[in-house]
Structure 1
Amino acid sequence: MERTILAVDAGGTTCRGRLVAPDGAVLASGEGGACNPSTDLAGAIAVLDALINVLCRQTTPQTQRGSVVLSLGVAGLVDVNRRAAFLAAHEGFAEIVSMSDGYAALVGASGGQPARLIILGTGAAGHRLFADGTSIQRDGWGFLGGDRGSGAWLGRRAVEAALKSFDGAAPESLLSERLVARLGGREAAILDWLLQARPRDFAALVPEIVAAAEAGDDAAATLLEAAADEATALVSSLGDGRGGKSVSGESDGEPLYLLGGLSVLLRTRIERRLGRHLDVPQGCALDGCVHVARGKAPQERRR
């Protein structure tokens, strides 16, 4: 007999939840704040616990944890100790199923069938599900080591270029002028911003890049093209799962999906580079969590 599922898509910017009845009806839904155990374990635990309580209280009678399968798609569960601490903090459920948020998005988009997915948001990662139920992830290294082509990647490079102009080591551009003003316009204010900035703060600068590019700024346009290059390389890195590369982006006819906050901005550029249209996702990460909990998609097993 199928049970009620509490599906959660927990990422570094927002945390979304959905309570789903055995017949598939949505009983409750809601959102919370950032939930990434790798960057803030205590904060992630608190955000998820608050969201769980809100969702359970929306039903009449109030849903009890003991009758619910908690299915989690969570960023930052690679470290074994953090993973164990995060999951142990949410007791009382009939069962807990966990996976990366990217994998949840992949199986949500494909309905659990073999496919590839590129996610371009604050961070960036590529995922592929194979016919044997195993999967791979490429990039997703985080702000300091990768996330190439992401919002944080774009924002950081725009800031670097702007400060190079601020120092007189490069010509000024519309983008550099906008960003220097955005960061405070003076050395002390800029340094203060840099000392406190997190990946989402750099990603929040993307609208400035877009506005400058639309106004004809070459530096801004070059950055957007570079992000599309990185996304295309990420598609290629998914290859055949054995180290092979796929130049065209075609891979045994498998669907290729693009999700994330930068997907609309970069879709056409990426499609032009791949020479193909990207596929329309069937669902989202919350659907993926439900599919895995119901056994309609394999649990995450990395190659």
Structure 2
Amino acid sequence: MNNPQKYFIGIDGGGTKCKARLEDAQGNVLAETFAGPANAAGDLNGSIHSILEATDKVIAESGIANLTPQDIHAGIGLAGLNIPEVMTEFKAKSLPFANTNITTDLYIACLGAHQIDDGAIIIIGTGSSGVAIKREQQFELGGHGFAVGDKASGAWLGKMAVTHTLEALDGIKNRDKFTDDVMAFLGCSTAHQLVTLTLGAKPHFFATLAPLIFSLAKQEEPFAKALVEDAADYINKLSKQLFKLKPARFSLIGGLTDSITPYLDPELKAQIQSPLGSPEQGAILYSKY
């Protein structure tokens, strides 16, 4: 196109969706949109498809005539790119942008939250992970995936809730209000129904139980309260590890932040600062590196 204006796209790709933000050189937001999942470790080609879909949609929503991906500078942060082999494979793929800076979803989230490369974040959503960045240093913890990690996340809470419920139904633990409420929430009346429902279930399915668990914890239901306190203890310990890099700022981000904050150590809560921007904004900053 003949327009001398520069355009920048920030893309944040995770296991549930891929978000895109388009700005001009002055930082004006031209459009924001989203597409499907973009976890590069789970589905590399699928993540690229979602990036291209989100790009096409954000260009269309901007209303700028004749704008193409070739006119746009891209910053892309994806889940799964913390695995070196996945990063190498992803970088070997051809993307249609004017130039492309590629990193992890954690990095752009931290950059967006602090607007500088000196800070730390813990993400507590469907999954969980933490990162501290100090100029050239990057210290990542957690984010090991639903199967073996992601403690304190919505998916982990939901998985633990289902496990407790099945043990109660088997008579190994006492059946309690927690068990009955989980069964009611999932519309099950037998252990067989519950197991069938969870076969092949993705992390997002288990994470849908998180609001119920926090609600029961507020009501002092014993298992729910103990489960949430265990999650908070993990976040306390994870933050202490991140603080070893002495970051200038610290933020919690993700859908469970407000729910878990009351259970955190007072010393940690005193250090939490509100994020200054979104991961997509961090990706745009990274596109200019």
Q: Same fold (TM over 0.5)?
A: yes
Q: Does 1:255 align with 2:249?
A: yes
Please give the per-residue CA displacement for 1:68-104, whole angstroms capped at 9, x wherever unaligned: 1121111012345543554555522111111111110
Letter in 2 for 1:33: G
Q: Does 1:160 align with 2:163?
A: yes
Q: 1:49 touches 1:90 (CA, 8 Å); kept in 2?
A: no
Please give the per-residue CA displacement for 1:163-208, whole angstroms capped at 9, x wherever unaligned: 1111111111211111133162223322211212111111111122
- The CA distance in 1 between the partners of 2:262 and 2:169, in whole Å, is 32
Cα gap change, 1:67 to 1:153, in 2 (>3 Å): same
> What is the aligned partner in structure 2 of residue 289 from structure 1?
283
> What is the aligned partner in structure 1 of residue 223 from structure 2?
219
Deviation of 1:56 after TM superposition, in Å, equals 1.6
1:196 aligned counterpart, secondary structure: coil
Q: Does 1:29 align with 2:32?
A: yes
Q: 1:56 touches 1:62 (CA, 8 Å); kept in 2?
A: no
Query: Which of residues 257, 260, 268 is equivalent to 2:262?
Result: 268
Query: Which of residues 234, 238, 262 is equivalent to 1:234?
Result: 238
Please give the per-residue CA displacement for 1:109-155, whole angstroms capped at 9, x wherever unaligned: 1111411111111111111011x422110011011121111111111
1:240 aligned counterpart, secondary structure: helix
Q: 1:271 touches 1:277 (CA, 8 Å); kept in 2?
A: no
Q: 2:76 touches 2:283 (CA, 8 Å); kept in 1?
A: yes
Q: 2:55 touches 2:69 (CA, 8 Å); kept in 1?
A: no
Cα gap change, 1:214 to 1:267, in 2 (>3 Å): closer
Cα gap change, 1:52 to 1:84, in 2 (>3 Å): farther
* Paired residue total: 284
- The CA distance in 1 between the partners of 2:148 and 2:221, in whole Å, is 28
Cα gap change, 1:57 to 1:204, in 2 (>3 Å): same
Cα gap change, 1:185 to 1:279, in 2 (>3 Å): same
Letter in 2 for 1:259: I
> What is the aligned partner in structure 2 of residue 151 from structure 1?
154
- The CA distance in 2 between the partners of 1:205 and 1:62, in whole Å, is 45
> What is the aligned partner in structure 2 of residue 126 from structure 1?
130
- The CA distance in 2 between the partners of 1:275 and 1:238, in whole Å, is 15
- The CA distance in 2 between the partners of 1:191 and 1:159, in whole Å, is 9
> What is the aligned partner in structure 2 of residue 72 from structure 1?
76
> What is the aligned partner in structure 2 of residue 104 from structure 1?
108
- The CA distance in 1 between the partners of 2:155 and 2:263, in whole Å, is 19
Give percent identity, aligned residues only.
27
Please give the per-residue CA displacement for 1:24-83, whole angstroms capped at 9, x wherever unaligned: 111111122222121223332222221111112232213112111121111012345543
Cα gap change, 1:291 to 1:149, in 2 (>3 Å): same
Letter in 1 for 2:72: V
- The CA distance in 1 between the partners of 2:90 and 2:263, in whole Å, is 38
TM-score (norm 2): 0.91
> What is the aligned partner in structure 2 of residue 115 from structure 1?
119
Q: 1:257 touches 1:279 (CA, 8 Å); kept in 2?
A: yes
Q: Does 1:51 align with 2:54?
A: yes
Q: 1:17 touches 1:55 (CA, 8 Å); kept in 2?
A: yes
Letter in 2 for 1:231: I
TM-score (norm 1): 0.87
- The CA distance in 2 between the partners of 1:163 and 1:69, in whole Å, is 50
Question: Which structure 2 segments of 5+ residues have no match?
Answer: none
**More divergent stretch after superposition (202-211 vs 181-190):** 181-190
> What is the aligned partner in structure 2 of residue 175 from structure 1?
178
- The CA distance in 2 between the partners of 1:273 and 1:114, in whole Å, is 20
Letter in 1 for 2:75: S
- The CA distance in 1 between the partners of 2:46 and 2:288, in whole Å, is 29
Letter in 2 for 1:283: G
**More divergent stretch after superposition (84-93 vs 216-225):** 84-93
